Structure 1
Amino acid sequence: MTKPYQRPAADEPAWWFVISGGELLMTEERQIPHGFLEELPFPDLNDYTTVYIGELRERSCYLIIADFGDLNFSVVGEFLSVRELVIGSDDELFAMAARAKQIADFLPTHRYCGRCGARMQAVDWEIAMHCHTCQHRCYPRISPCIIVAIRKGRQILLARSKRHPKGQYSVLAGFVEAGEPLETTLAREVMEEAGIRIKNPRYVLSQSWPFPNSLMMGFLAEWESGDVRIDPFELEEGGWFDIDHLPLIPQPGTIANKLIMRLKAEIDQEKNRPI
């Protein structure tokens, strides 16, 4: 049984995920602090909420929740966006950092019961908040999303929104609605955002995306019918791009990049297949 609020042992090398204002503490080398607690220049952890969040490579992982603008960790490094870890393509480390960030968001936003308004208490054997007045219990929220790379011959459908960096295009994505199967979400989101129908959807992989609490489920699919009509309320522009002449796309390590590269590999394999 996991005890999330167990105290770290001084002689235990561990990973330390320190979160402040939604950002993650990283060393000058853009690494997560790792090592023995007594050897790290941390402040007294008795002044901080410290949560055991699991294991990574046979080492315990601890979340430390710091106040916004906390300078007590400045000797270790600086607080940066968790997105910095995506660049290194270390999926396991990014997943644990995503878990740390989501739990750090969850605990302070569930101090009071959403049902009766009473003060909630942390559960000491699992990561949850419990109301002893009405017995309501909350767990970290996860918002499921679909993300899909769609092909039409040797072309891929890409679009850009205002959230994307200038000149960057990505594949389509959207949130799953209550009571909705993923297949329905795929068809609905693609029709709403691009005005086309798809066929042969295939699940490929998933990725936690803690901005703030999404779980991205990635698919490949094929164009079936319709002309692309980009929804101006969701996207700025988009269309079909030749797989050999792609615009700027999301960075390696992101699920969007992985889906695009998977689709490109499949198309290239078809091209090189003997007739």
Structure 2
Amino acid sequence: MKHCLECGAKLILKPCGDEGDIPFCESCGLFRFPVFSTAISTAVLNHDKSKILLIQQYNRPHYILLAGYVNKGEDAEATLVREVKEEVGLQVTGYQYMRSEYYEPNNTLMLNFVSVVDSEDLSGLTAEVDHGQWFTWEEAVQAIAKNSLAERFLLNIVQKLQSGSIHVETRPSGL
């Protein structure tokens, strides 16, 4: 960030306590911490956790995890439930946060979850999704877009599924 988002003045680097050098607007007299988008991604599992749903979007041939941006005023868990319903028409019955990673190509902090849904019925796919398909864990690893953030998240989740260390909690009502 080179200019103030409020007034447009050129920012300078200025020490800010233990934070180190942070962009500072001399005109506003305020530090301008980096701004980025926040999104969720999720490995959607069927009820017995034996299959993973992968999707294709935007006329691309690659399979990816379901993902979406967090709206202003919305928490990540609500985004997860909303995106699964909006994109594939399924109801999330439980989820577990896994990990995060900054994705530089679109300046986004990705928050990764594993979620469980109430059905394998994909008749509710919306226009946002070109194709959705259920895969076994092993098939999903083969099908996912290679060398992608989705692949890194998926490999982490499959490893934890295989070790039995994923304990998806039933989602609170109201989400």
Equivalent residue for 1:241, pick from 135, 160, 168:
135
Mapping of residues 40-119 of structure 1, within 5 Å: 106=1, 110-111=2-3, 113-119=4-10
Matched residue, 1:221: 115
Percent identity between matched residues is 27
- Asked if residue 250 in structure 1 is aligned to residue 113 in structure 2, the reply is no
What is the root-mean-square deviation in Å for CA atoms of aligned residues? Answer: 2.5
User: How far apart in 2 are the matches of 1:223 and 1:262?
Assistant: 20
Query: In structure 2, what residue type is equivalent to 1:161?
Result: Q
Equivalent residue for 1:160, pick from 52, 56, 60:
56
Matched residue, 1:78: none
Larger Rg: 1
> Structure 1 residues 133 and 264, CA, compared in 2 at 3 Å: closer, same or farther?
closer
Q: Residue 118 of structure 1 aligns to a residue in which SS?
A: coil
| Deviations, residues 11-46 of structure 1 (Å, cap 9, x unaligned) | xxxxxxxxxxxxxxxxxxxxxxxxxxxxxxxxxxxx
Alignment TM-score, normalising by the size of structure 1: 0.50
User: How far apart in 1 are the matches of 2:32 and 2:57?
Assistant: 33
Q: Residue 141 of structure 1 aligns to a residue in which SS?
A: coil
> Structure 1 residues 265 and 120, CA, compared in 2 at 3 Å: closer, same or farther?
closer
| Deviations, residues 37-77 of structure 1 (Å, cap 9, x unaligned) | xxxxxxxxxxxxxxxxxxxxxxxxxxxxxxxxxxxxxxxxx
Q: Does structure 2 conserve the Cα–Cα contact (< 8 Å) formed by 1:115 and 1:136? A: no
Matched residue, 1:198: 92
User: How far apart in 2 are the matches of 1:250 and 1:160?
Assistant: 10
Matched residue, 1:175: 69
User: Unaligned regions of 5+ residues in structure 2, if any?
Assistant: 165-175
- Asked if residue 150 in structure 1 is aligned to residue 28 in structure 2, the reply is no
Q: Residue 218 of structure 1 aligns to a residue in which SS?
A: strand
Q: Does structure 1 conserve the Cα–Cα contact (< 8 Å) formed by 2:59 and 2:130? A: no
Displacement after TM superposition at 1:222 (Å): 0.9
Count residues with an aligned counterpart. Answer: 157
Q: Residue 189 of structure 1 aligns to a residue in which SS?
A: helix
| Deviations, residues 139-194 of structure 1 (Å, cap 9, x unaligned) | 21132211110111322111012274x3x201111111112111101101111111
User: How far apart in 1 are the matches of 2:105 and 2:81?
Assistant: 24
Displacement after TM superposition at 1:129 (Å): 2.3
User: How far apart in 2 are the matches of 1:180 and 1:115?
Assistant: 23
User: How far apart in 2 are the matches of 1:204 and 1:117?
Assistant: 38
Matched residue, 2:14: 123
> Structure 1 residues 127 and 146, CA, compared in 2 at 3 Å: closer, same or farther?
farther
Larger relative contact order (Cα-Cα within 8 Å, sequence gap ≥ 6): 2
- Asked if residue 133 in structure 1 is aligned to residue 27 in structure 2, the reply is yes
Query: In structure 2, what residue type is equivalent to 1:158?
Result: L
User: How far apart in 2 are the matches of 1:269 and 1:130?
Assistant: 47
Query: In structure 2, what residue type is equivalent to 1:180?
Result: E
> Structure 1 residues 263 and 120, CA, compared in 2 at 3 Å: closer, same or farther?
closer
> Structure 1 residues 245 and 114, CA, compared in 2 at 3 Å: closer, same or farther?
closer
Displacement after TM superposition at 1:127 (Å): 4.1
Query: In structure 2, what residue type is equivalent to 1:173?
Result: A
| Deviations, residues 116-147 of structure 1 (Å, cap 9, x unaligned) | 33333232453432222222431211322111
